[in-house]
Chain A
Amino acid sequence: MASVGEEIILDLQKQSLREVNRSLHENSPSLAGQSIQILHPAGHHSVAAGVNVAAHIEVQGHVGYYAAGMTRQATITIDGNAGCGLAENMMSGQVRVKGNASTCAGATAHGGLLIIEGNAASRCGISLKGADIVVGGSVGHMSGFMAQAGRLVVCGDAGHGLGDSLYEAVIYVRGELYGLGADAQQQDMTDEDVAQLERLLAAAEFSHKPQEFKRIGSARTLYHWNPDADLEY
């Protein structure tokens, strides 16, 4: 682990992924509050997976699958695009991607804030379990599938099947809806929705107004197994 001034440098051109991640895990106590640069990610998978320290980590380039997977406490910025499963099962902290994200961004994430400045592909926020996701652009089909808790904010458009089989998560879409999934419905915005949107947009540093968004929530008709649910089961 090299150190330049106050910054810690981890270089994936000089170290293996295993060494970089192990270094982030094993040195957690001493990394709190530190700034860490990860250089030359070059599409590596699982960069900064399993990190559990309140450090500022900047990844300088594109990453592959599962970047920042299962992360806790950390503030991670990816200066590039991210592959499938970005910040999957994240528990807390913040992950920001300056480019686009591939499928399943924020899958099953329990807590924290995931910000995608560009677009996100299909299944963004799938099985979301309490985290907040803000997407600056559009999301692909089946986003928010079986999302249980948390919020998905989409500043652009949303592909078809949005919010299919939603539980208690809420989706906000500013642009066009290309079709809702089973049991998802457009609902009236409440004062609470406006307040939450204001908070999330500010945290993500987007200037849109909450009133420009539509709220999508669960109609809760699939909460109980029954034969009258239009064969959804």
Chain B
Amino acid sequence: MSHRPLNLEESASYNRHVIEYIHLAAERGVYDIRGLGAKRQLPTLDDLVFLTASASRYPLEGYREKCETKTVLGHHRAERPVELEIPITIAGMSFGSLSANTKEAIGRAATEIGTSTTTGDGGMTPEERESSKTLVYQCLPSRYGFNPEDVLKADAIEVVLGQGAKPGGGGMLLGQKISPRVAGMRTLPEGIDQRSACRHPDWTGPDDLVIKIEELREITDWQIPIYVKLGATRVKDDVKLAVKAGADVVVMDGMQGGTAATQQVFIEHSGIPTLPAIRLAREALEEMRVSEQVQLIVSGGIRTGADVAKALALGADAVSIGQGVLMALGCNGSHWADNGELVDATAEYAQLGVQPGYCHHCQSGLCPVGITTQDEQLEKRLDPAWGARRLKNYLQVMNMELTTLARACGKSNVHHLEPEDLVALTVEAAAMAKVPLAGTDWIPGERGHG
């Protein structure tokens, strides 16, 4: 019997990943839940480059000439606006999804470098309040752990309407992470799979949100700014409604934004990328003529100083980072530090069916490097001082990269970066960012440009 030649022609529609998905769905009858953000290829800020100075523009001297990074948020209404040394803030991540040590490390680093950090679903822990000079307190649909005592300790309140990883969906915290402390803070039984609501319990639309924000202002005696966080979907409409509702700061989270745990179908198939979201959000503020009153924070896939610079040039007043923070603390690294000694964690990654660099198992509570866990032994793997030092270094590098690019564009203030400083490397990025395709003056979709 003669053998046919081996034919390995793979179907584009039903490739090995799709077949594996169908096999697993058929075998288990449940969908995938995972952490972090979208893994698919998306248009990103990498598709833009700066037109730094040459003969037509005058650059500032490298790391010597002053380049201002100070950032003030919520100054229009609040008696105590948020004042930051750098325009890079820490995104909301919950105690529950993260360990208490991790929250403390984040707070310490943010304080040292002069930026804000943010609570998350599950309330405010004493560790993060004490370690964070500037702490933004999230008001989420679940209201887990939300109370007036902590409202009055906050430096700003962020009303969360959505999240880039799962706009329109609520969070999930699986039972293995509902430790006695987490359960107590959330008023839930220990060990259950906890679902966070997807909409707020005491208002149902933007007209109600006006009144809700006013209530928060009354409770805080108009002292602190009120942020509104949105997952990037119908960006222009949503930003305008948030502003109309009274937001001092709009936080726009693109689809690359991370999560502690949600359905994979949400992460990969809902919302729009950060790149177009920035420009749409800025346009909404400009059309409402509130650019001087309302600040824009952008998040979702901001990884480097270049990303920060591009986001600011496209219209952000500041950015917010989450996944990068975790990675600075050792997420997806092969080792953790025990009193300065590096300890190999690849065996624990293997138990999760993964290797360092590929892990997204935040939902499991079995984080090999002790970040996204409530396990008493695992959480000891992140020493807050060690983590804070690494995170501070990362923030410092991002800020130096930001000012390097700003100076090269001739800006003495990072907030002076503008779309005119950028061109796009792909037609898609040019259309989304509304900057010309490199080497042309063509902005796809712009009137007169075809």
Whether A49 and B218, one on each chain, are in contact in the complex, defined by CB atoms closer than 8 angstroms, is yes
Q: How far is the CA of A50 from the CA of B148 in the complex (A)?
A: 7
Q: Which of B28, B186, B197, B201: most chain A Cβ within 10 A?
A: B201
A72, A84, A145: the one within 8 Å of B148 (CB): A72
Whether B143 and A127, one on each chain, are in contact in the complex, defined by CB atoms closer than 8 angstroms, is yes
Of the listed stretches B188-196, B226-234, B295-303, chain A binds B188-196
A210 at the interface (CB under 8 A from B): no
Q: How far is the CB of B190 from chain A (nearest CB, A)?
A: 11
Q: How far is the CA of A146 from the CA of B194 in the complex (A)?
A: 11
Interface residues of A in 74-108 (CB under 8 A from B): 84-85, 88-89, 91, 103-104, 107-108
Q: How far is the CA of A48 from the CA of B192 in the complex (A)?
A: 36
Q: Which chain B positions have C-beta within 8 A of A69? A: 215, 219
Whether A127 and B142, one on each chain, are in contact in the complex, defined by CB atoms closer than 8 angstroms, is yes
Whether A84 and B203, one on each chain, are in contact in the complex, defined by CB atoms closer than 8 angstroms, is yes
Given contacts A22-B221, A50-B219, A70-B219, contact A127 B148 (CB under 8 A): no
Given contacts A46-B218, A65-B208, A126-B201, contact A227 B189 (CB under 8 A): no
Q: How far is the CB of B226 from chain A (nearest CB, A)?
A: 13
Residue of A nearest to B29 (CB): A227
Chain A interface residue bracket vs B: 35 or more
Residue of A nearest to B143 (CB): A108
0/1 interface trace, chain B 171-208, chain A, CB 8 Å (1 if under): 01011000000000011110011010100011110001
Q: Which chain B positions have C-beta within 8 A of A165? A: 195
Given contacts A50-B148, A130-B187, A225-B30, contact A107 B201 (CB under 8 A): yes
Q: How far is the CB of A155 from chain B (nearest CB, A)?
A: 23
Q: Which chain A positions have C-beta within 8 A of B222? A: 18
Residue of B nearest to A169 (CB): B187
Residue of B nearest to A165 (CB): B195
0/1 interface trace, chain A 51-65, chain B, CB 8 Å (1 if under): 010000000000011
Given contacts A45-B215, A65-B215, contact A104 B202 (CB under 8 A): yes
Whether A89 and B147, one on each chain, are in contact in the complex, defined by CB atoms closer than 8 angstroms, is yes
Chain B interface residue bracket vs A: 35 or more
Whether A227 and B30, one on each chain, are in contact in the complex, defined by CB atoms closer than 8 angstroms, is yes
Number of A-B contacts (CB under 8 A): 109
Whether B203 and A225, one on each chain, are in contact in the complex, defined by CB atoms closer than 8 angstroms, is no
Whether A127 and B219, one on each chain, are in contact in the complex, defined by CB atoms closer than 8 angstroms, is no
Q: Which chain A positions have C-beta within 8 A of B197? A: 127, 146
Residue of B nearest to A83 (CB): B211
Q: Which chain B positions have C-beta within 8 A of A52? A: 148
Q: How far is the CA of A165 from the CA of B195 in the complex (A)?
A: 10
Q: How far is the CB of A46 from chain B (nearest CB, A)?
A: 4
A168 at the interface (CB under 8 A from B): yes
Whether A46 and B202, one on each chain, are in contact in the complex, defined by CB atoms closer than 8 angstroms, is no
Whether B212 and A91, one on each chain, are in contact in the complex, defined by CB atoms closer than 8 angstroms, is no
A129 at the interface (CB under 8 A from B): yes
Q: Which chain A positions have C-beta within 8 A of B151? A: 50, 70
Whether B211 and A46, one on each chain, are in contact in the complex, defined by CB atoms closer than 8 angstroms, is yes
Q: Which chain B positions have C-beta within 8 A of A46? A: 211, 214-215, 218-219
Q: Which chain A positions have C-beta within 8 A of B215? A: 45-46, 49, 65-66, 69, 85
B266 at the interface (CB under 8 A from A): no
Whether B187 and A89, one on each chain, are in contact in the complex, defined by CB atoms closer than 8 angstroms, is no
A174 at the interface (CB under 8 A from B): no
Q: How far is the CA of A180 from the CA of B204 in the complex (A)?
A: 22
Q: How far is the CB of A25 from chain B (nearest CB, A)?
A: 6
A17, A85, A227: the one within 8 Å of B202 (CB): A85
Whether A226 and B30, one on each chain, are in contact in the complex, defined by CB atoms closer than 8 angstroms, is yes
Whether A224 and B148, one on each chain, are in contact in the complex, defined by CB atoms closer than 8 angstroms, is no
Q: How far is the CA of A146 from the CA of B198 in the complex (A)?
A: 12
B149, B201, B220: the one within 8 Å of A104 (CB): B201
Residue of B nearest to A223 (CB): B192
Residue of B nearest to A111 (CB): B147
Given contacts A223-B193, A225-B193, contact A89 B148 (CB under 8 A): yes
B174, B192, B219: the one within 8 Å of A49 (CB): B219
Q: How far is the CA of A32 from the CA of B402 in the complex (A)?
A: 53
B174, B189, B202, B218: the one within 8 Å of A168 (CB): B189
Q: How far is the CB of A7 from chain B (nearest CB, A)?
A: 23
A148 at the interface (CB under 8 A from B): yes
0/1 interface trace, chain A 144-170, chain B, CB 8 Å (1 if under): 011011000000000000000101100
Residue of A nearest to B221 (CB): A22
Residue of A nearest to B263 (CB): A233
| Chain A to chain B contacts (Cβ below 8 Å), 18 pairs | A45-B211, A49-B218, A50-B148, A50-B219, A65-B208, A65-B212, A70-B148, A72-B148, A84-B208, A85-B215, A91-B147, A104-B201, A149-B187, A165-B195, A223-B192, A224-B192, A224-B193, A227-B29
- With A18-B222, A108-B146, A129-B187 known, 9 other A-B pairs at CB within 8 A are A21-B218, A50-B219, A65-B215, A66-B212, A69-B215, A72-B148, A84-B203, A107-B201, A165-B195
